[in-house]
């Protein structure tokens, strides 16, 4: 059977802004100088984050229609995505004309012809390359997309690309005193991250298995609703407790199928949805205090970039050198859904 391996990861990041400055210049006034909002921003563990929207525009963007926001997405997303994909292709030493599948995951912008078609034109991809757009899945989209891409590579013996691109800044909501909006505006940021999966690559992380767990009884704890004024996040304070309950059984079942347990894992690439999310994963898996250091660093430096974030974490893990053993990637989203991927380095 053909082995699918992650051979290269790339990223493209919009301009960087300091969290403290964003609070002082924009969000202090957006949330009516709320002390609760200030505590949420201070306690977010985010120091800097990227935004494709100039903060000077935030006040205007909050009143934009969804059509106006989608028009801006159509302008900004293609060059950002192109840069991330080219970065990943360079890391994998792969040419665009070798690609058999391009999968694009995004929950922050839509149009047809879409981002996948624009990238097929700009790269360019061969005419017979397949395209797959994975929309409105949320923060966990990278991992089911990775599973699909790896299955394609294994079945067709042909390279594939996955791009996760999110422009959450386009969905700034009108001024309010809603705590859920305070949390989402304190955490979320913009980014594009891509990876290349090759058949029988000389090196890279082998995609061993992907698994999921969905708690539909808690489906309303995390939402992403389309409104006339962009997309609106709903994020219950109960989400971390739900993840702490579910993440242990998911990961232990995944590892047990391959004769492993959490103690065998060399690195954890966990989506940093927020500091409480990471605390919940640590508790649910009984991890040591340094196990999620990379995820916490990505949260501090980039914020929560929705589906792209777990790929940024994985990129940092690989930048430190080949892992000494298995890697587990974890991401979470609406459903309430948890996804886990088992990745293994060369023997």
pLDDT digits (tens, 9 = 90+) for 191-201: 999 999 999 76
To the nearest whole percent, how much of the chain has pLDDT over 90? Answer: 97
For residue 347, is pLDDT > 80? no
Is the pLDDT at 119 greater than 80, yes or no? Answer: yes
| pLDDT for res 30 | 95
Going by their DSSP bridges, the two strands 190-199 and 160-167 should be labelled as antiparallel
| Distance from the Cα of residue 152 to its chain's centroid | 21
Instruction: Find all residues with CB under 8 Å of 323, minimum gap 6, and list them.
Output: 205, 266, 267, 317, 345
For the domain made up of 205-344, give the CATH fold.
Answer: Peroxisomal Thiolase; Chain A, domain 1 (3.40.47)
- Provide the pLDDT for residue 203: 79
User: How far is it, in rounded angstroms, from Cα 300 to Cα 32?
Assistant: 25
Quick check: bond before 304 cis, omega within 30? no
Residue 2 pLDDT grade (very low, low, confident, very high; cuts 50, 70, 90): confident
Mean pLDDT of 18-45: 96
Question: What is the average per-residue pLDDT within 287-316?
Answer: 97
Q: Is the pLDDT of residue 88 over 90?
A: yes
Regarding the domain with residue range 4-199, which homologous superfamily does it belong to in the CATH classification? Thiolase/Chalcone synthase (3.40.47.10)
Asked if 107 is an active-site residue, the reply is no
Marked catalytic residue, from 107, 139, 164, 305: 139
Average pLDDT over residues 116-133: 97
What's the pTM value of the predicted model, to 2 decimals? Answer: 0.97
Task: Check if 4-199 and 205-344 are the same fold.
Answer: yes
Residue 201's pLDDT is what? 66
User: Can you give the residue ranges of every domain in the chain?
Assistant: 4-199, 205-344
Helix spans in the chain (H): 19-22, 28-30, 35-42, 58-61, 66-92, 115-122, 142-156, 179-187, 239-256, 275-285, 293-302, 309-319
Q: Is the pLDDT of residue 184 over 90?
A: yes
Q: For position 202, what pLDDT does the model report?
A: 67
Give the tens place of pLDDT for each residue, 215-253.
999 999 999 999 999 999 999 999 999 999 999 999 999
Q: What integer is the mean pLDDT of 71-79?
A: 98
H or E stretch at 219: none
pLDDT of residue 346: 77
| Cα–Cα distance, 51 to 15 (Å, whole number) | 6
């Amino acid at each position: 059977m053909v082995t699918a391996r992650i051979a290269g990861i790339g990223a493209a990041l919009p301009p960087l802004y300091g969290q403290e400055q964003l609070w002082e210049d924009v969000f202090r006034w957006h949330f009516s100088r709320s002390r609760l909002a200030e505590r949420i921003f201070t306690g977010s563990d985010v120091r800097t984050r990227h935004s494709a929207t100039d903060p000077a525009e935030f006040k205007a963007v909050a009143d934009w229609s969804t059509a106006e926001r989608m028009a801006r997405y159509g302008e900004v997303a293609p060059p950002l995505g192109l840069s991330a994909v080219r970065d990943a292709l360079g890391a994998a030493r792969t040419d665009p004309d070798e690609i058999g599948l391009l999968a694009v995951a995004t929950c922050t912008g839509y149009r047809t012809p879409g981002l996948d078609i624009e990238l097929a034109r700009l790269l360019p991809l061969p005419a017979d390359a397949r395209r797959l757009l994975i929309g409105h899945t949320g923060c966990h989209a990278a991992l089911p997309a990775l599973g699909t891409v790896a299955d394609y590579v294994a079945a067709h013996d042909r390279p594939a690309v996955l791009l996760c691109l999110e422009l959450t800044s386009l969905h700034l909501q009108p001024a309010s005193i809603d705590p859920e909006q305070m949390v989402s505006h304190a955490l979320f940021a913009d980014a594009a991250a891509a990876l290349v999966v090759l058949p029988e690559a000389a090196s890279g992380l082998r995609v061993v298995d992907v698994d999921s767990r969905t708690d539909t009884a808690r489906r309303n704890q995390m939402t992403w609703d389309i409104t006339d004024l962009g997309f609106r996040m709903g994020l219950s304070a109960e989400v971390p407790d739900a993840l702490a309950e579910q993440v242990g059984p998911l990961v232990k079942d995944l590892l047990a199928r391959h004769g492993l347990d959490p103690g065998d894992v060399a690195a954890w690439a966990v989506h940093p949805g927020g500091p409480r999310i990471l605390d919940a994963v640590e508790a649910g898996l009984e991890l040591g205090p340094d196990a999620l250091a990379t995820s916490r660093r990505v949260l501090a430096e980039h914020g929560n970039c929705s589906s792209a974030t777990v790929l940024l974490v994985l990129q940092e893990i690989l930048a430190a050198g080949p892992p000494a053993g298995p890697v587990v990637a974890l991401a979470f989203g609406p459903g309430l859904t948890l996804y886990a991927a088992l990745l293994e380095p060369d023997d």
